[in-house]
Amino acid sequence: MQPATIIGGPGSPYARKIMIICEFKQVPWRCDPIVPFQGNDEFTRLSPLRRIPVFIDDQVTLADSTAIAEYLDERYPDPPLFPPGPAARAKARWLEEFADTRMGDVFIWKLFNNAVIKPGVWKLPRDEDAIAAALRNDLPEVMNYLESVAPDDGFVCGTLAIADIAVAVHFANLRWARTAVDLTPWPKTMAWMARVEAVPEFAKLTNLGTRAITTRSADRRALYAEMGVALTETTLAGPEFRKGPMSV
């Protein structure tokens, strides 16, 4: 099978979610590890919202991690990403939506963006006031909700499912934001996250993301080779960084 292409690097929780799912389902993949702001006109054509990940294989071009995950699960049903039964499947979808939307807003846009993207991409200062406000006003609400649904053991819908992956990917970005947040008030959630992050396919991609975001861009090709991740022959990175619809 020709490897599928994932456009977007492992620093993005949404791109990493798709890489983990491909590993989980043993779907061969290669990537063009761009950040969305680097995308050229061809990237805009493939991803009209200028977001990563984009997933391309012999049958589809998709630019949303939820649509990609559902496609991968239908095309490669084993091992399943969704639990059996309508109620459990609905719960998995709802938690994925909560993770993509509310956790994305708080963990990525209010925290990772102000701590890492602003200095790293836009050469602006790290915004400590915005980070402190998000830690005070938003993060506890998200964590309280997760604590109310966190399982006492195992995974939230029984076996590992889309919900666990979609929630857990955000915690690496929170660590990479290097805030002084104390997560001990939410022990059930953190024990659940530790179980998800220990799944080998998950751990492999968290490690790749950690190494990629701490490696200079000139050295990243060598890093991907060392980690056994195939890259596309050409890249959709353009000559300058451009803001997308959600960028601030």
Ligand X SMILES: N[C@@H](CCC(=O)N[C@@H](CS)C(=O)NCC(=O)O)C(=O)O
Interface with ligand X (CB under 6 A), residue from 3, 23, 56, 66? 66
**Which one, 186 or 206, has the nearer CB to ligand X?**
206
**Which one, 101 or 159, has the nearer CB to ligand X?**
101
How many residues sit in the footprint of ligand X (CB under 6 A)? 17
Q: Could you tell me which stretch among 61-69, 87-95, 180-188, 205-213 binds ligand X (CB under 6 A)?
A: 61-69
Is residue 245 close enough to count as binding ligand X by CB under 6 A?
yes
**Which one, 3 or 244, has the nearer CB to ligand X?**
244
Burial group, residue 77, by CB count within 10 angstroms (0-12, 13-18, 19+): exposed
Tell me how far, at minimum, the Cβ of 109 lies from ligand X, in Å. Answer: 8
Tell me how far, at minimum, the Cβ of 100 lies from ligand X, in Å. Answer: 5
Tell me the residue nearest to ligand X as measured from the CB.
Answer: 244
Q: What is the 3-state secondary structure (H, E, C) of the chain?
A: CCCEEEECCCCCHHHHHHHHHHHHCCCCEEEECCCHHHECHHHHHHCCCCCCCEEECCCCEECCHHHHHHHHHHHCCCCCCCCCCHHHHHHHHHHHHHHHHHHHHHHHHHHHHHHHHHHHHHCCCCCHHHHHHHHHHCHHHHHHHHHHHCCCCCECCECCCHHHHHHHHHHHHHHHCCCCCCCCCCHHHHHHHHHHHHCHHHHHHHHHHHHHHCCCHHHHHHHHHHCCCEECCCCCECCCCCCCCCCC
Q: Could you tell me which stretch among 8-16, 119-127, 174-182, 227-235 binds ligand X (CB under 6 A)?
A: 8-16
**Which one, 39 or 83, has the nearer CB to ligand X?**
39
Is residue 114 close enough to count as binding ligand X by CB under 6 A?
no
Interface with ligand X (CB under 6 A), residue from 52, 167, 212, 237? 52
CB 105 within 8 A of CB 170: no
Is residue 244 close enough to count as binding ligand X by CB under 6 A?
yes
Interface with ligand X (CB under 6 A), residue from 40, 215, 235, 247? 247
HSE of 166, CA atoms in CB hemisphere, 13 A: 29
**Which one, 43 or 186, has the nearer CB to ligand X?**
43
Is residue 110 close enough to count as binding ligand X by CB under 6 A?
no
Is residue 246 close enough to count as binding ligand X by CB under 6 A?
yes
Positions in the binding site for ligand X (CB under 6 A): 12-14, 36, 50-53, 64-66, 100, 108, 244-247
